[in-house]
C-alpha cells in the first residue's frame, strides 16, 4: 500500500469529478442521456480522430460510469479501468481481448459456474483453447503451459472450496513463461487486496457483489495494473503500438465491448459509486461476523466441520493473512452429518435467506450440491469438493447474535 495515499474511504468519497458539475452537486449526478452534442465540426472531428477525449455515445463512455472508473482507480494501484454491464461481461471482454484464435488460456479447475461455462463452451467455439489446471499445484500449471499460452485465469479465493492461490509463486511462473496473470477478485476487492503488489497484471471483478452495496445492481470492472507488455501478445500487438500500456482497455472500449454492447448504465454506476464509499464498513462487519460464526460452529456438536480462511488453524489462514490482510471475504461453508440434516436445518431457518447470491447485505444460505452443482455427476461434484453434507453461507451485516440464534434454533 502506498503510504502517501489517504485511506480507502477518504479516497473513494472525495474522488473529484472528471469535470466540474454545472450545479456544484456534491454527488456525481446520474447522466442518463445517450448522445452528447458538439459545437463545431472541428471539435467533433477532433473527438472522432482520438485527438481529444469527449463523451460521444453512452454505449462507449458515460460521465457517471467514468466517475465510477475514476473512483476504482483512486482506491486501487491500477493504471487503467473500464466498467462493464456485469462480472461476466468483464471476464469475457478481457479474455476475448487478450487471446487470439489459436492461443490458449490455462484456467483454474475451480471457478464460478458461468465463468467455467464461458471457458468450457463459448471460448473454445471461437477457437480459443482452454486448459484447466489445479492452481494450488503449480506443477500442473507449468505442464499445461506452452508457447501459445497467453493468460493464467483464476479466482483469488475459490468458492465453495475456499482455496487460495499463492499469488507470488504463480506470478513468478507467469513472468518466467511470459504469460499474463488475470484474476477474478470478486471475493477480495481492493480494500483487502492490492493485486499489483502480488504480480497480478489484470483484475476483473463482479461489482454486483461487495461493491454494489448489498447486491443492488449488476456490474463488472476491469482493472489493469499496467505491468504486462502487451506488444508480446498477438491479439494486442497493434493496439500496443498505438496505446502502449493502455492497449487492453483501449481494445475493450474501442472494439470488443463497443461491438458486443457490454457497457454499464449510468444508473448502475450510481449504485456502484454509493456502494464503493461504504464497502470497507460492510467488509469489516462481514468478516467480524464470519469470525464469530466460526467460533459458534467450532463449539456446536452438530457441526461436523467448517471452512473459513480467516481463522487460525484453517489451511488457507497464512495466505489469507499475507494476501488479503486477514480478511478473506465473507463466504464460509460448514458440514452437518447428512444431506437430510442439511435440508432439515435449511427448512427451519427463519432469518437467514435462502438464495444463491454472494455478498448481499443479508446473510444468504444455499445447499450447493443440490442446486448450483445439480447438473454435475457425483464424480465431478466430489472432484470439486462439493459434498452432499455441505452448506454454503454468504455472511451479511446483520447483528451476529441474531444469526447465531437463528442457526442455534434450526440446529436443534
Ligand X SMILES: *Cc1c(COP(=O)(O)O)cnc(C)c1O
Q: Which of 363, 282, 267 is nearest to 327 (CA)?
A: 282
Closer of 8 and 218 to ligand X (Cβ): 218
**To the nearest 10°, the Cα dihedral for 203, 271, 159, 361?**
140
What length does the chain have?
412
Rounded to a whole number of angstroms, the distance between the first and last alpha carbons of the chain is 46
Task: Using CB under 6 A, count the residues that bind ligand X.
Answer: 14
| Interface region with ligand X, contact rule CB under 6 A, candidates 43-51, 82-90, 126-134, 391-399 | 82-90
DSSP state letter for 364: E
Find the binder of ligand X among 8, 31, 112, 154 (CB under 6 A). Answer: 112
Find the binder of ligand X among 247, 256, 358, 365 (CB under 6 A). Answer: 358
* Residue whose C-beta lies closest to ligand X: 87
Q: List residues bridging with 220 in a β-sheet.
A: 84, 206
Binding marks (x or -) toward ligand X, 136..165, rule CB under 6 A?
-------------------x----------
108 binds ligand X (CB under 6 A): no
Q: Taking a C-beta distance cutoff of 8 angstroms, is the pair 225, 245 a contact?
A: no
| Spatial distance between the Cα atoms of 196 and 33, rounded to a whole number of angstroms | 35
Closer of 200 and 410 to ligand X (Cβ): 200
Q: Which of 404, 411, 1, 399 is nearest to 194 (CA)?
A: 1
* Secondary structure of residue 176 in the 3-state scheme: helix
Q: Which residues make Cβ contacts (< 8 Å) with residue 312, sequence separation at least 6?
A: none
| Interface region with ligand X, contact rule CB under 6 A, candidates 10-18, 56-64, 81-89, 101-109 | 81-89
Binding marks (x or -) toward ligand X, 199..238, rule CB under 6 A?
-------x-xx--------x-x------------------
Closer of 112 and 257 to ligand X (Cβ): 112
Closer of 186 and 363 to ligand X (Cβ): 186
Place of cell 471457478: 111
| Interface region with ligand X, contact rule CB under 6 A, candidates 85-93, 141-149, 305-313, 386-394 | 85-93
Q: Which of 127, 131, 233 is nearest to 178 (CA)?
A: 233
* Nearest distance from C-beta of residue 217 to ligand X, angstroms: 9
| Spatial distance between the Cα atoms of 197 and 226, rounded to a whole number of angstroms | 12
Residues at the site binding ligand X, with contacts judged by CB under 6 A: 86-88, 112, 115, 155, 184, 186, 206, 208-209, 218, 220, 358
Amino acid at each position: 500500500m502506498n503510504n502517501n495515499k489517504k485511506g480507502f474511504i477518504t479516497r473513494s468519497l472525495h474522488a473529484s469529478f472528471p469535470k466540474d458539475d454545472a450545479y456544484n452537486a456534491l454527488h456525481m449526478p446520474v447522466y442518463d442521456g445517450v448522445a452528447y452534442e458538439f459545437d463545431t465540426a472541428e471539435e467533433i472531428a477532433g473527438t472522432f480522430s482520438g485527438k481529444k477525449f469527449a463523451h460521444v455515445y453512452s454505449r462507449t463512455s458515460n460521465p457517471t460510469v467514468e466517475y465510477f472508473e475514476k473512483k476504482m482507480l483512486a482506491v486501487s494501484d491500477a493504471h487503467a479501468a473500464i466498467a462493464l454491464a456485469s462480472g461476466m461481461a468483464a471476464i469475457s471482454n478481457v479474455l476475448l481481448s487478450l487471446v487470439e484464435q489459436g492461443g490458449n488460456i490455462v484456467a483454474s479447475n475451480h471457478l464460478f459456474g458461468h465463468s467455467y461455462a464461458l471457458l468450457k463452451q463459448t471460448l473454445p467455439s471461437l477457437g480459443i483453447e482452454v486448459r484447466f489446471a489445479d492452481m494450488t499445484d503449480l506443477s500442473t500449471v507449468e505442464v499445461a503451459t506452452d508457447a501459445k499460452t497467453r493468460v493464467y485465469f483464476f479466482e483469488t479465493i475459490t468458492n465453495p472450496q475456499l482455496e487460495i492461490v499463492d499469488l507470488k509463486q504463480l506470478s513468478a511462473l507467469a513472468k518466467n513463461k511470459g504469460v499474463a496473470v488475470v484474476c477474478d477478485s470478486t471475493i477480495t476487492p481492493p480494500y483487502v487486496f492490492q493485486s499489483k503488489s502480488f504480480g497480478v497484471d489484470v483484475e476483473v471483478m463482479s461489482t454486483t457483489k461487495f461493491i454494489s452495496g448489498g447486491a443492488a445492481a449488476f456490474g463488472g470492472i476491469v482493472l489493469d495494473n499496467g505491468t504486462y507488455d502487451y506488444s508480446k501478445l498477438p491479439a494486442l500487438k497493434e493496439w500496443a503500438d498505438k496505446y502502449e500500456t493502455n492497449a487492453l482497455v483501449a481494445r475493450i472500449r474501442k472494439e470488443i465491448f463497443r461491438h458486443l454492447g457490454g457497457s454499464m448504465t449510468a444508473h448502475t454506476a450510481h449504485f456502484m459509486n454509493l456502494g464503493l464509499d461504504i464497502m470497507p464498513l460492510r467488509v469489516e462487519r462481514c468478516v467480524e461476523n464470519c469470525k464469530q460464526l466460526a467460533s459458534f460452529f467450532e463449539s456446536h456438536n452438530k457441526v461436523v466441520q467448517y471452512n473459513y480462511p480467516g481463522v487460525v488453524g484453517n489451511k488457507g489462514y497464512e495466505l489469507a493473512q499475507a494476501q488479503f490482510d486477514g480478511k478473506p471475504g465473507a463466504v464460509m461453508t460448514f458440514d452437518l452429518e447428512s444431506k437430510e440434516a442439511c435440508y432439515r436445518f435449511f427448512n427451519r431457518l427463519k432469518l437467514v435467506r435462502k438464495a444463491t447470491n454472494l455478498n448481499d447485505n443479508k446473510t444468504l444460505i444455499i445447499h450447493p450440491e443440490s442446486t448450483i452443482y445439480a447438473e454435475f455427476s457425483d464424480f465431478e461434484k466430489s472432484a470439486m469438493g462439493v459434498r452432499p453434507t455441505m452448506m454454503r453461507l454468504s455472511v451479511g451485516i446483520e447483528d451476529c447474535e441474531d444469526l447465531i440464534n437463528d442457526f442455534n434454533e434450526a440446529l436443534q
